[in-house]
Amino acid sequence: MADKELTSWVLFLCLKGGEDLAIRGRKPKPTNLKLLEGNPGKRPLPTNEVRPKQKAPRCPQWLEDDAKKEWKRMGKILEQMGILTEMDMTAFAGYCQAYARWKEAEEFLSKHGSIIKTPNGYLQQVPQVSISQTNLKIMLKFCEQFGLTPSARNRLATMDAEVGTGDEMEDLLGGIL
């Protein structure tokens, strides 16, 4: 399957929600995200998870220009977090492409507005509104997968907080005073 076809398939599954895959319950979280969040329940972490090399994939040449810029911007962040690997190329490309299309639609809406008058005199929403909303949904689904939503960031524990200062009261107050 070609990269573009695979990306289209991933985008389709994201929009559809993956209902036809027959996977029920919560989606498992990658171990790296679990490590960053901490393990408050002290549950054993999976040891048999596939762990590809911690190397970010190369940006595909077929991405739109804005998608390539987003790839460079977010790719560095995700690689530093230890989340982005070679295996994530298609999913990350899908996110970046959705970002580029969302941005293009939003720029159009900012310039031209979201309503047009038809030849019959009716007011109608321009297609870019739907394009923007659809691509924003796709982006948010990918963001959830990569741990990039505000709620995911709030769950992430900083590495400093895990280590502690050695002073129990200082750790408890967390530098408030």
AA letter at 83: I
Whether residue 169 lies inside any domain: the answer is no
Which residues does 171 contact at the CB level (< 8 Å), separation at least 6?
164, 165
| Greater pLDDT, 86 or 7 | 86
- Beta-bridge partners for 58: none
Q: What is the pLDDT of residue 12?
A: 64
Whether residue 78 lies inside any domain: the answer is yes
Q: Residue 143 in contact with residue 98, Cβ under 8 Å?
A: no
Looking at the predicted structure, is the pLDDT value of residue 105 above 70? yes
For residue 112, name the pLDDT band (cuts at 50, 70, 90): very high
Whether residue 173 lies inside any domain: the answer is no
* Alpha-carbon gap, residue 65 to 79, rounded angstroms: 21
From first CA to last CA, the distance across the chain in angstroms is 58
* Alpha-carbon gap, residue 101 to 29, rounded angstroms: 27
Q: Which domain holds residue 132?
A: 3-44+57-156
For residue 161, name the pLDDT band (cuts at 50, 70, 90): very low
- Beta-bridge partners for 117: 123
C-alpha triplet 3, 52, 141: angle, nearest 5°: 55
The total number of structural domains that make up the chain: 1
Q: What is the mean pLDDT of the chain?
A: 79
Looking at the predicted structure, is the pLDDT value of residue 65 above 70? yes
Considering 17-26, 57-66, 140-149, 154-163, the range whose residues carry the highest mean pLDDT is 57-66
Calculate mean pLDDT across residues 9-24.
Answer: 58
Looking at the predicted structure, is the pLDDT value of residue 175 above 70? no
pTM of the entire predicted model? 0.62
Whether residue 149 lies inside any domain: the answer is yes
Whether residue 7 lies inside any domain: the answer is yes
Whether residue 116 lies inside any domain: the answer is yes
* Alpha-carbon gap, residue 99 to 136, rounded angstroms: 7
* Alpha-carbon gap, residue 120 to 54, rounded angstroms: 58
Helix (H) or strand (E) holding 98: helix 89-112
Whether residue 21 lies inside any domain: the answer is yes
Which of these ranges, 58-67, 71-80, 81-90, 160-169, has the smallest mean pLDDT? 160-169
Whether residue 161 lies inside any domain: the answer is no
